[in-house]
């Protein structure tokens, strides 16, 4: 029996632009439940993790924005994701800014010995307090999950690291900070920048990604940031970067992941309806989920 559980994580604490906390509502409004109905035997919408309206707080020692709150709310998300997997259901998390991945991966990874991660994003999200130009935690979740950064972020759910560098593939990168570039080379992370996507084509990139992860992982988490797509196709994001992955290429990527049957958990993040055009980005997110979960044209 195919079961899926939807968890809303309306968190905007990892960055400065308001509105991304409305992402889960926008995705629901765009029809996610209706879209998934023909594809699953059971759909459970578990509502949203309570975030409230906390005041912005800068940690004096690390200069990180909302550090304690992000850690606290990430722990709540990790617990919910853990429960979903224990119940035999597929966890689908709706963001929220990308800092939510710290909680998602903390809840997912304890169920796998070698969790793979596909990071579909314009950014590497590999900063730490030492390398971050902004102190925004939404630029740090992949680093934190690799065990790098402030202990409050790396130790969510009581263990670290959550994932291994050799089990990560970043797809769509085109905006990397200097510290992130150093870390990518140091750790040997597999990265497909837009240069590789243009040169090889998305089909080849996905074939290589699937081949790279399939045999050495026992599950694969998809962390899809809508800013991985070109801003023409997904305008409602906080940090748009020109020259991104196209709508059609993204559908192909999701369809190939579905055919490979390797994805065991997923999150779609950074939908900001305030910056959007008629909920276009949320609709794109829902359409990509349709492809990821087995929707077919014929």
Give tens-digit pLDDT for 78-87: 999 999 999 9
Residue 249 lies in a domain: yes
Q: What is the pLDDT of residues 195-220, one digit of tens each?
A: 999 999 999 999 999 999 999 999 99
Q: Which residues contact 94 (CB under 8 A, 6 or more apart)?
A: 6, 7, 8, 9, 23, 24, 27, 28, 32, 267, 268, 269, 271
pLDDT bin (cut points 50, 70, 90) of residue 279 is: very high
Within-domain flag for 42: yes
The domain tally of the chain equals 1
Domain extent for 204? 3-292
User: Mean pLDDT over all residues of the chain?
Assistant: 96
Of the ranges 47-51, 95-99, 112-116, 132-136, which one carries the lowest mean pLDDT score? 132-136
Residue 277 forms part of a structural domain = yes
Q: Is residue 298 part of a domain?
A: no
The predicted model gives 145-161 an average pLDDT of 98
On the question of a cis peptide bond just before residue 96, with omega within 30 degrees of 0, the verdict is yes
Give me the percent of the chain exceeding a pLDDT of 70.
100
Residue 69 lies in a domain: yes
CATH (domain of 86): 3.40.800.10
> Is residue 166 in some structural domain?
yes
Q: Starting at the edge strand that comes first in sequence, how are the strands of the sheet with 190-193 ordered?
A: 42-48, 3-9, 90-95, 263-269, 219-225, 115-120, 168-173, 190-193
For the chain, helix (H) and strand (E) counts, in that order, are 11, 8
pLDDT at 52 over 90: no
pLDDT at 127 over 80: yes
Catalytic residues: 98, 121, 123, 125, 138, 225, 227, 270
The tens digit of pLDDT for each residue in 10-37 reads 999 988 888 999 999 999 999 999 999 9
245 pLDDT band, cuts 50/70/90, is very high
Q: Does residue 263 lie within any of the structural domains?
A: yes
């Amino acid at each position: 029996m195919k079961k899926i559980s939807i968890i809303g994580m309306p968190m905007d604490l990892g960055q400065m632009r308001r509105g991304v906390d409305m992402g889960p509502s926008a995705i629901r409004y765009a029809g996610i439940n209706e879209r998934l109905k023909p594809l699953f035997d059971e759909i459970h919408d578990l509502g949203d993790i309570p975030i409230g309206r906390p005041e912005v707080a800068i940690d004096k020692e690390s200069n990180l924005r909302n550090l304690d709150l992000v850690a606290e709310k990430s722990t709540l998300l990790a617990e919910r994701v853990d429960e979903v997997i224990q119940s035999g259901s597929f966890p689908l998390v709706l963001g929220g800014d990308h800092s939510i991945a710290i909680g998602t991966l903390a809840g997912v990874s304890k169920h796998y010995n070698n969790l793979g991660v596909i990071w579909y994003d314009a950014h590497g999200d590999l900063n730490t307090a030492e390398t971050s130009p902004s102190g925004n935690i939404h630029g740090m979740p992949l680093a934190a999950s690799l065990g790098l950064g402030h202990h409050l972020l790396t130790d969510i759910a009581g263990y670290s690291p959550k994932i291994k560098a050799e089990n990560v593939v970043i797809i769509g990168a085109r905006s990397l900070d200097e510290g992130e570039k150093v870390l990518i080379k140091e750790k040997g992370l597999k990265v497909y920048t837009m240069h590789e996507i243009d040169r090889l084509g998305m089909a080849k990139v996905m074939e290589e990604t699937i081949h790279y992860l399939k045999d050495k992982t026992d599950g694969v988490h998809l962390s899809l940031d809508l800013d991985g797509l070109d801003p023409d196709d997904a305008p409602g994001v906080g940090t748009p970067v020109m020259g991104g992955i196209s709508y059609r290429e993204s559908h192909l990527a999701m369809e190939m992941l579905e055919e490979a049957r390797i994805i065991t958990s997923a999150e779609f993040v950074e939908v900001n309806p305030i910056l959007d055009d008629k909920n276009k980005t949320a609709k794109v997110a829902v359409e990509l989920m349709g492809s990821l979960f087995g929707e077919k044209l014929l």
